């Protein structure tokens, strides 16, 4: 695996992270992703080339708008940095294959879901529905086109659909019992996670998300940052599960199989 390609894909991840920031900013508000061009939300000044270099502009401008001094959220930097890191990991894992491209795509989708849920406590249908359709298409190609390896080999269309349906029904029951704790957005998100991971990976995706969410909920309650009645954005944690599971799928599946 060449060092040049590794650097190229990491930089591509950082640049795409910059676009993911636009999605995170605009999708919850129902705004267009392409127009208007990037501008400061505080002073509306259009951003020049130097204000728009991912990661570097944030560090260079010390997190402030060059024109009005308004604070730029640290999330802008984090999303670019993490997306670059995920592309690096995915390329290290899968090399120049279709599985790399698909893993990178799902990292992007879940990054947007994670940060929108964190900031707005919303999981948008405009993301989950198209993502589900794409996931089913990938599964179908992976299962029925000879030689096409798009996912971990264990994943099949039937397997993915059953995983998605099982999770959807389980979380739907939770929503019926505790509508204050979970919403339909979470229900559709776990169905997507089922389609993207398939069994057995989906078990690990869910465990990672649920354990992370549980730890953070306990810490927030213990430090009294949140009360018992506050809503916790579980989508933020559930979305981390499939990212980790997809990148470390071979280790996870080997470890799982070693028990049988």
Q: Which two tokens stand for residue 21?
A: 């920031």
Q: Which two tokens stand for residue 242?
A: 């499939």
51/147 Cα distance (integer angstroms) = 45
Smallest gap from residue 212 Cβ to Zn ion (A): 35
Q: Which is nearer to Zn ion, 40 or 116 (CB)?
A: 40
Task: Tell me if 68 contacts Zn ion by CB under 5 A.
Answer: yes
Q: Which two tokens stand for residue 79?
A: 């999303």
Q: Which two tokens stand for residue 121?
A: 């406590």
Binding mask 5-44 toward Zn ion (x if CB under 5 A, else -) reads -----------------------------------x-xx-
CA 124 distance to own-chain centroid: 13
Binding mask 186-215 toward Zn ion (x if CB under 5 A, else -) reads ------------------------------
Smallest gap from residue 239 Cβ to Zn ion (A): 30
Smallest gap from residue 27 Cβ to Zn ion (A): 22
Q: Count other C-beta atoms under 10 Å from residue 142's C-beta.
A: 22
Binding mask 90-119 toward Zn ion (x if CB under 5 A, else -) reads ------------------------------
Question: What CA dihedral angle connects 160, 163, 169 and 170, to 10 degrees?
Answer: -150
Report residue 179: phi and psi, to 5°. Answer: -65, -15
186/172 Cα distance (integer angstroms) = 9
Whether residue 159 contacts residue 209, with contact meaning beta carbons closer than 8 Å, is answered with no
Q: Which is nearer to Zn ion, 61 or 221 (CB)?
A: 61
Report residue 86: phi and psi, to 5°. Answer: -70, -40
Q: Which is nearer to Zn ion, 75 or 121 (CB)?
A: 75
Task: Tell me if 70 contacts Zn ion by CB under 5 A.
Answer: yes
Smallest gap from residue 49 Cβ to Zn ion (A): 16
Smallest gap from residue 44 Cβ to Zn ion (A): 7
**By the criterion CB under 5 A, which residues form the site for Zn ion?**
40, 42-43, 65, 67-68, 70
């Amino acid at each position: 695996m060449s060092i040049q390609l590794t650097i190229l894909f990491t930089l591509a991840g950082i640049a795409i992270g910059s676009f993911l920031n636009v999605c995170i900013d605009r999708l919850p508000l129902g705004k267009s992703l392409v127009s208007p061009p990037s501008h400061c939300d505080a002073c509306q000044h259009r951003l020049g080339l130097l204000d728009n270099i991912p990661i570097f502009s944030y560090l260079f401008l010390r997190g402030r708008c060059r024109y009005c001094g308004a604070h730029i959220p640290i999330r802008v930097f984090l999303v670019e940095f993490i997306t670059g890191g995920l592309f690096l990991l995915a390329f290290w894992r899968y090399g120049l294959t279709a599985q790399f491209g698909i893993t990178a795509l799902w990292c992007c989708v879940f990054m947007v879901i994670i940060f929108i849920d964190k900031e707005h406590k919303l999981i948008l249908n405009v993301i989950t529905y198209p993502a589900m359709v794409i996931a089913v298409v990938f599964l179908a190609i992976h299962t029925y086109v000879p030689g096409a390896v798009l996912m971990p080999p264990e994943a099949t269309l039937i397997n993915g659909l059953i995983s998605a349906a099982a999770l959807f029904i389980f979380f739907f029951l939770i929503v019926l019992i505790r509508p204050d704790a979970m919403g339909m957005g979470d229900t559709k998100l776990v169905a997507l996670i089922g389609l993207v991971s398939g069994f057995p990976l989906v078990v690990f995706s869910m465990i990672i998300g649920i354990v992370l969410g549980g730890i953070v909920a306990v810490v927030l309650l213990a430090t009294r940052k949140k009360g018992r009645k506050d809503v916790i954005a579980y989508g933020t944690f559930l979305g981390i599960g499939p990212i980790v599971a997809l990148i470390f799928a071979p280790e996870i599946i080997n470890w799982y199989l070693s028990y049988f």
